[in-house]
Amino acid sequence: MKDVKKELENVEEEKKLVDEQLELLFKSEDVKKYFELTAKQHKLRNTENELFKKIKFEEYDNCNHIWINISEDNNVLNKKIYGCIKCGLDKRVWYTSSPTRLEIEKRAMYEYLRSCYYNKDGIQIDMPCEFELGKAIYKRIIETHPDIDDKTASIYLRAAIHNINEKNISKKRNNKILKRLSLNQK
Ligand SMILES: [Zn+2]
């Protein structure tokens, strides 16, 4: 017990010394400058976020959305979730478990959806499609037909998604047949 008490005394003594050193350090110009700059950086980051959010909100507000049903393999929610292939507004962010950890663009989406998640304005293409693929198809349509209107673009998009999904189905079907054949061989 005596040893332990002595050890405690030593620790307390050492703590006191460290406190004194810290106090001296806080008074140094460099450290003062460091805290000043950290605070400034924090403020700038907040302003940057606010400005970015403002730009994105305006973009989402002004977009005549074309929604597709984003069916990703990792869709654990087992429900239809939509994303706009024009402005990139992705409703999957709404289901995130930790919104504060979202990166800047997804965070802006999350906050935007908070005010209008059920907004279904625009065109809805109720066909399952990977989001990145849907966006890439739309980009290609726009490149090939720069003056195309949304309605016509969505018709092209539907046809493209339909073709891709059909191909995927027949690929799956083929895989199943192949699997069955290999099983039969056993
Ligand atoms: Zn949009």
The pLDDT tens digits for 44-69 are 999 999 999 999 999 999 999 999 99
| Distance from Cα 77 to the centre of ligand 1, integer Å | 23
List all residues 6 or more positions away from 66 whose beta carbon is below 8 Å from its beta carbon: 84, 85, 86, 122, 123, 125, 138, 150, 153, 154, 157
- Whether 127 contacts 161, CB under 8 Å: yes
Task: Name the nearest CA neighbour of 71 among 87, 91, 57.
Answer: 91
What pLDDT score does 186 carry?
Answer: 44
Residues of the chain with pLDDT under 70: 71-77, 181, 183-186
pLDDT at 115: 86
C-alpha 59 to ligand 1 mean position (Å): 8
Whether 86 and 64 have beta carbons less than 8 Å apart is answered as: yes
Residue 80 C-alpha to ligand 1 middle, in angstroms? 17
Please answer whether residues 134 and 162 qualify as being in contact, where contact means their C-beta atoms are separated by less than 8 angstroms: no
The closest alpha carbon to 111, from 131, 87, 86, 93, belongs to 93
Contacts of 27 (CB under 8 A, 6+ apart): none
83 Cα: distance to centroid of ligand 1 (angstroms):
8
Sign, CA dihedral 55-58-63-67, equals positive
- The CA 25 to ligand 1 mean position distance, Å, reads 53
Q: Do 139 and 86 contact (CB within 8 A), yes or no?
A: no
